[in-house]
Structure 1
Amino acid sequence: MKVLILYASYGDGHLQASRALRDAFQRRDVQVHMLDLFAEAHPLLNKFTKFLYIKSFTVLPSVYGWIYNVTKRMKHDTAFAEILHSFGTKKLQQMIERYDPDLVINTFPMQGICKLNETAGIRIPTYNVITDFDLHHRWVHPDIHKYYVATEDLKGQVEQLGVPASRIEVTGIPLKEAFNRTEHSSSSLGKMQAAASPEVQQTFGLDTGKRTLLLMAGAHGVMQGLQHLCAQLDRLADDVQVALVCGNNKFLCQQMRRAFANYPNIHVYGYVEEIHKLMSISTCIVTKPGGITLSESLSSALPILIYRPVPGQEQENASYLESKGAALISHKPKELCRQIKTLLQDPQILSEMREAIQALHKPNSSESIVSDIIHTTLTNQQPDYVFRLAKGDHRIESFS
């Protein structure tokens, strides 16, 4: 069996999800090729749009949110959607002819393979792995064989568009295998204390006698107001230390290290490959609400504090987890500090958050997805329906 995984490098989540699936397939001796389709097909355009995407977090984030919300209920056969589907199809056809995959997986809402079904008669089983807790209609297309989603609520949203329940699996968002081996001690949860390994703490240069607040600035380090925020967090309590992860933003990392060189409770890191280890020794996490990071936090049983979510999928992810009681949202440093103090001091609130986290967590997500895809493909299960969009609404109807 040969698998082609299509992803996009807007943020780090889609790449991380793709790698997790690749590794799970390879543990079963399945050949996998990963393709950043936009980067390969349109390198200059991809570079420009990535720049705009990253800047959207700091410059007029409301514009990105407006675009996201305006297109959220876009039908797959509208003129604009057809343009989006067509990006990279020439390169995709070349890759299909070169690698001859038995199936295609999308970890980014691109439907190039569906376009090739229409224009070139190329029909390959195609699976969509949705990497957020919110549904954008770009994920849904008549030619998709199956969908893998994070929650039952998200499954319900896909079903409302007319996709049969048998074609939607609630697996969670795919995470790397290391998260399946990382556990928090249940006896320590009530004390808001992670099952901290002194060896791991020492590896990261952390004080073994203090609780750790993990602060994630995002893959590109775009969280705003970090220096002021860290200064506020430094004054939380004597027994609390901050582990700031700046991602791939080397300039931010250097800047923060200079600013907090004389602050023993502020520890600054760049990109952390073994983030599961750092999560395993942390007490709670302050983060941007990307789907992967949120799922990693759920897997690590970490109370989640979401800071300044930007409009779009971030805000939708944040609002969903908040509605389930698994996260708290704040927009100002003082508000965030109050929330953290409450968690540190109120075991009842902590217990309720832990229960909500447990309810949302889906273990072994990558293995579940890969197992189902292999089974579905080998048994040659084909969609028992044809999609059409109902006139006057955004629903997809099925008929025989």
Structure 2
Amino acid sequence: MLSGSPKVLIMYASYGEGHYQASKALEASFHRSGITDVELLDLMAEAHPLLNEMTKFVYMQSFKTMPLLYGWVYNATKDLQPDTSLLSVLNSLGMRKLEQAISSIEPDLIIHTFPQLAMPKLLKKTGLKLPLINIVTDFDLHGRWVHPGVDRYYVATEELMQDLVRRGIPAERVLVSGIPLKPDFGRSPNMATEQLCRLDPSRRTILIMAGAFGVMQGIRDICETLLAKDNYQVIAVCGRNKELHRKLDQELGQHPHFHLFGYISEIAQLMQLSHCIVTKPGGITLSEALVSRLPIFVYRPVPGQELNNALYLESKGIAHIANDPSTLIRQIDGLLLNEERLAHVYGEIDLVRRPEAAKTIVSDIIEQWFTPASSLAGSTSISLL
């Protein structure tokens, strides 16, 4: 162990909540392992707040209004090398703020849950020696994650590991760990609200993440069609979309088999009480569904990492992709009403799910860097003075 308590800096970005959730899951796992000096840093928000808000706005709007353009840009830049001009510029953002943070926090190790890789350039500039770790939070690999200065990668699948090796990263630097989730995923459900106590045990429960990146097109029709059947009940989560919550409550709130939520932190419990999920295919949400052993129905995925995530899980027989309500309903019926197919999907999920990802990552980090036998132990103390 390093002298004193090791200090860990986790860098994330607030483009959606997934990167922050992964960071908090790691923080909790470090704390359970006895490493309590953990700092979280949203580098872009701290270094360039106006630029951060502008890029977040553009990012969200591109999902809603220009999905094909977003997907084209994502796929066109997917195989960029780290020394290209574009990535060099992107990886320079926040350098000064990062240097100040390193000087103030004096971390022993840096973790990225978002590919904002200013650290390799800062290390080269200052001569510091700090282990750098990337935790890829999707089932698809973009070139922004890949840099020769990163010491270790934690990824969701064997295919991602092979992709990193294909891009020149030594296999010994990559561990297939899964994507880190909060510790309440994988546990037995313990939420007993009056609303959920009214769930009918004779019906299949369909969880719809309705508020993901705005209003899901056709969501009311989807809910109404499912509720018209004798064998389904619906849990709809609107997140922070208050207008969608109001509309669904007004139109379907009195239905005895419709359970509506706004923003709720107990997503793990809702997943554990459901038989399938309808969602956008963000890496964190998909991992949560897999750990909860939920068959996945992806509705209108945006081209780019979302569609690529969905296509990967579709190739494994775990996810179904639909772009219109009628196709989605047909897919749900085809799976939930067929016990043999359902059992097959559960088997495929069990081959992919990794419920102990956060624990696996933290244990490996401790073994690699925070024990006496670690090759880099004792070389991570730093100073910018």
TM > 0.5: yes
Query: SS where residue 41 of structure 2 aligns?
Result: strand
Match for 1:212 among 205, 218, 221? 205
1:233 aligns to what? 226
Q: Does structure 2 conserve the Cα–Cα contact (< 8 Å) formed by 1:182 and 1:300?
A: no
Change (3 A) 1:222 1:124: farther
Identify the match of residue 92 of structure 2 among 73, 86, 90: 86
Rounded to whole Å, the distance in 2 between the matches of 1:154 and 1:223 is 29
| Contact persistence 1:86–1:115 (CA under 8 A) | yes
Structure 1 residues 218-255: Cα deviation after superposition (integer angstroms, max 9, x where no partner):
554453332232223222x2231111111222232223
Match of 2:264 in 1: 272
Question: Counterpart in 1 of 2:381?
Answer: none
| Mapped partners of 2:96, 2:183: distance in 1 | 34
1:308 paired with 2:314, answer no
The code of the aligned residue for 1:366 comes to: A
Aligned residues of 1:18 and 1:34 also touching (Cα < 8 A): yes
Q: Tell me by how many angstroms 1:266 deviates.
A: 2.3
Distance 2:337 2:355 in 1: 29
Give the direction of change, closer, same or farther, for the CA distance of 1:364–1:7 in structure 2 (3 Å limit).
Answer: same
Aligned-residue identity in percent: 49
Q: Which amino acid aligns with 2:226?
A: L
CA–CA separation in structure 2 for the residues paired with 1:50 and 1:12: 12
Task: Report if the CA contact (8 A) 2:279-2:296 is conserved.
Answer: yes
Report the CA distance between 1:203 and its aligned residue. 5.2
Provide the residue aligned with 2:48 in structure 1. Answer: 42
Partner of 1:386: none
Cα shift at 1:49: 1.2
Describe the superposition over 1:59-113 as per-residue Cα deviations: whole angstroms up to 9, x where unpaired: 0111111110111011101111110001111111111111000000000011111
Give secondary structure in 2 for the equivalent of 1:56.
Answer: helix
Contact 1:54–1:222 (CA<8 Å) still a contact in 2? Answer: no
2:27 pairs with one of 10, 22, 28 = 22
User: SS at 1:174's partner residue?
Assistant: coil
Q: How far, CA to CA, are the matches of 1:263 and 1:90 in structure 2?
A: 55
Return the offset for 1:205.
5.6
Equivalent position of 2:174 in the other structure: 168
CA distance in 2, matches of 1:232, 1:305: 16
Q: 1:206 to 1:331 in 2, by over 3 A?
A: farther
**Pair 1:381 & 2:375 matched:** yes
C-alpha distance in 1 between matches for 2:188 and 2:197: 20
Distance in 1 between the 2:197 and 2:215 partners? 24
5+ residue gaps, structure 2: 1-5, 377-385
The amino acid of 1:238's aligned partner reads D
- Asked if 1 retains the 8 angstrom alpha-carbon contact of 2:280 and 2:306, the reply is yes
State the match for 2:145 in structure 1: 139
Asked if the contact 1:89/1:116 (under 8 Å) is kept, the reply is: yes
Of the structure 1 ranges 241-250 and 124-133, higher mean CA displacement relative to structure 2 is found in 241-250
Question: What amino acid is aligned across from residue 212 of structure 1 in structure 2?
Answer: T
Cα distance between partner residues in 1 of 2:178 and 2:265: 21
Structure 1 stretches lacking a partner, 5+ long? 184-196, 383-400
Task: Give aligned pairs, total.
Answer: 367
Q: TM-score if structure 1 supplies the norm length?
A: 0.88
Q: 1:71 to 1:340 in 2, by over 3 A?
A: same
Q: Report 1:1-400 matches (<5 A).
A: 1-30=6-35, 31-182=37-188, 200=192, 202=194, 204=196, 206-209=198-201, 210-217=203-210, 219-235=212-228, 237-378=229-370, 379-381=373-375
Q: Deviations over 1:137-167 (max 9, x none)?
A: 1111011010000011111111111211111
> Structure 1: which 4+ aligned runs deviate by more than 6 Å?
none
Q: Distance between the aligned counterparts of 1:54 and 1:15, measured in 2?
A: 17
Matches of 1:300 and 1:313, distance apart in 2: 22
User: 8 Å contact 2:211–2:241 — kept in the other structure?
Assistant: no
Distance 1:365 1:52 in 2: 31
* Alpha carbons 1:201, 1:207 under 8 Å: kept: no
User: In structure 1, what is the Cα distance between the partners aligned to 2:124 and 2:211?
Assistant: 38
TM-score, structure 2 as length reference: 0.91
Equivalents in 1 of 2:34, 2:214: separation in Å? 36
Q: Give the 3 Å change call, closer, same or farther, for CA 261–58 of structure 1 in structure 2.
A: same
